[in-house]
A and B are shown apart, each in its own frame.
Chain A
Amino acid sequence: MVNQELYPKRMQQYHEKFERIIKTINKRFTTYGYKRIKTSAFEQYDLYSKVNSSTDQTEMMKVIDRTGEVLVLRPDVTIPITRELAQNFSRLPSELRYFYVQEVFRQTQDTNTSIESTQAGIEYFCESSPEADAEVIALACHTMKDLGFTDIKIEIGHAAFFSELVQGLPLSLQQINQLKTLIQAKNVVEIGPFLRQFQIDPEVMEAIERIPFLYGNIEDVVKRASKTLLTTNMEKTLDYLLKLHATLKTYGLEQYIIIDLGLINHMGYYSGVIFQGFVEKYGKPVLMGGRYDELGEKFGAVLPAIGFACEIESLVQVTEQREVSAAFPIDVKIVYEEEQLNFAITIANELRERNYTVLSFPIRKEKADLQKTVYEIRLQVGSFSLADQEQVIPFKDLKELLTLLVGLKGGA
């Protein structure tokens, strides 16, 4: 039996965390120029038989409409967005940046996991380039840091490396999948014996056997990879990863990055760089993404893109295991003496127009809300001041306050 008094409080805390995470993510995605969009809750079942995706069709929730047509409850967001764009453009008109926060529905065999989960993600439709891909990975990293996960590790791989290596091998699709499973499990014990069943060039065999060892920092991985057979395309892939890494270094993210060439196409539609993020003490990836330049072609359009997504419920679960709640402060708190009510409202209105989150209190109720804030404005008769963590600055009127805020924000 749940404690009657504790339950509402715990539920409220859960939802507060949930909302704060979504708010933080929304904000960060917006600062990188992404626009929020929505897709329909119902999708055509047939849409998903066209595309080779990670979503198993047996896991989808099917619904039958009045005409007898089979629909599914949205099992993913990337595919509907791509389809939607493909219906309107045969090729990319300009770069497009979208983000979404929506429920997805999947029923896995594991009965303990909920059918419904909330996905937040971005899709950046653009030509492949190290700068574009690095920016997306930087956004992923930045978002996780906003949420207080300073120990984030992002593993980066590339779909082309493996597919190039197995091209032309005398293996059936089923055997390729078996090999993929072995590589994804870094199963160095069994890869060798598995490959030796077939007639394979010893050099290729050695190269495949080494894939699980191509893990770690970029220099080591490139050094180890260059010891084995490399085709021109594989060299290009490595070169691409080097450039991507150099750009990420400029973003100041070097310490968060791990290269893993054993990270191969687990989604079916990835064609370029692939990445996933992990934080300590949570056994599953907290975010996953990659480049899918060929997905649009399934719908008859050329729509190169890269994207990633994370599941809000798992992020809440991670924050529950640690104290990171302080990472979501509200922007401005205004504390005023009763006589200054009018001025307080004017400031609050003005700041809210400028997208600040503002709370205001008369001095007697100052302690009513203990949420942390970035800035605190105090309005007392004859003295107005703005304070951040470090300093208290007096100001005379609204104009001066706004200049001050812009200055502080720019400096931060």
Chain B
Amino acid sequence: MSYLTIAMGKGRTAKQAMNFLEQSGIKFPDFHEKSRKLVFIDSTERVKLIFVKAVDVPTYVENGAADIGIVGKDTIMEDPADVYEMLDLGIGKCKLAVAGFPDKQFTNSAPLTVASKYPAIAKEYFERNGIRTKTIKLNGSVELAPLIGMSDVIVDIVETGTTLKENGLVVLQDIADVSARLIVNKASFATKTNQIQQFILDLRAVLE
């Protein structure tokens, strides 16, 4: 039987996801948090785990380089891939929201400038709500943009809201709830149906 390859982003959800895998009976003896290895094989030699940049997980899965991926809903929404999305792992919970200064009004007199790591989500959200926008793509420290006057609002993931608060910003509107999802390559699902369905069943048993 061939390996089931799982792609995962390194980061805080990875730790919890590893716990789930371990509870469902898939153990990686080589794995420890400080390890810099990118490929791990489980003790029964049925599952291969690869660590990739989180935003690349859907790409690996869509192209079949990995059969299964674990990735945040925010990443899937920003860049939709042609994959199956079969399980909500309920970890890495946060929400996508519009944030800005508390007194910010949405008028349509001039386009609203939006800074975000998620330009596609931001554009889609405001279009749906009939607000004209100009989006600025940033890769980090998005909260800075309204403070220095580069943008009116930001679209970002909010977990506890501490960063926003410390910078004098508040959540103005919620866009969507985010959590880690299990995605599956469509060809793998056809050619390795039993292997993948069993994997999902085992994982679901742990979640419940």
- Residues of A whose CB lies within 8 Å of any CB of B are 151, 153, 155, 185-190, 215-216, 258, 278-285
Contacts and interface: CB of A to CB of B under 8 A. Distances in A.
Interface in B134-165: none
Given A278-B191, A283-B187, A189 B85 contact: yes
A153 B64 contact: no
A181 to B, nearest CB: 8
A189 B191 contact: no
A215 B187 CA distance: 14
B187 A284 contact: yes
The 5 closest A-B pairs by CB, nearest first: A283-B64, A278-B187, A278-B190, A189-B88, A153-B190
B86 A188 contact: yes
A10 B193 CA distance: 35
B39 interface: no
B185 interface: yes
Nearest to A186: B84
Interface in B156-208: 181, 184-188, 190-193
Contact of A258 (B63, B64, B65, B190): B190
A213 to B, nearest CB: 11
B191 A186 contact: no
A188 B86 CA distance: 6
Given A187-B86, A282-B187, A285-B187, 19 more contacts: A153-B190, A155-B190, A185-B83, A185-B84, A186-B184, A187-B84, A189-B87, A190-B85, A258-B190, A278-B187, A278-B191, A280-B187, A280-B191, A283-B61, A283-B63, A283-B64, A283-B185, A283-B186, A284-B186
A283 B186 CA distance: 7
B74 interface: no
A258, A279, A283 — which one has the most chain B CB atoms within 10 A of its CB?
A: A283
User: For the side of the interface on B, what is the size category?
Assistant: 20 to 34
B73 to A, nearest CB: 9
Contacts of A278: 186-187, 190-191
Nearest to B181: A189
Contacts of A283: 61-65, 185-188
Contacts of B185: 283
A248 to B, nearest CB: 16
Contacts of B65: 283
B190 A186 contact: no
Contacts of B105: none
B85 A185 contact: yes
B68 to A, nearest CB: 12
Contacts, number: 52
Contacts of A186: 84-86, 184
A190 B178 CA distance: 12
A283 B189 CA distance: 10
A116 to B, nearest CB: 20
B2 interface: yes
A380 to B, nearest CB: 48
B52 to A, nearest CB: 15
A260 B83 CA distance: 15
Contacts of A284: 63-64, 186-187
Contacts of A279: 187, 191
5 contacts: A189-B88, A280-B2, A283-B64, A283-B65, A283-B188
Nearest to A174: B128
A72 B88 CA distance: 43
B192 to A, nearest CB: 8
Contacts of B63: 283-284
A188 B87 CA distance: 7
Contacts of B62: 283
A189 B65 CA distance: 25
Contacts of A153: 190-191
Nearest to A182: B85
A185 B184 CA distance: 9
Interface in B74-128: 83-88
Contact of A187 (B61, B85, B187, B188): B85
Given A187-B85, A189-B85, A216 B193 contact: yes
Contacts of B85: 185-187, 189-190
A153 B2 CA distance: 16
A391 to B, nearest CB: 37
A285 B61 CA distance: 14
A282 to B, nearest CB: 6
Nearest to A266: B82
A190 B193 CA distance: 22
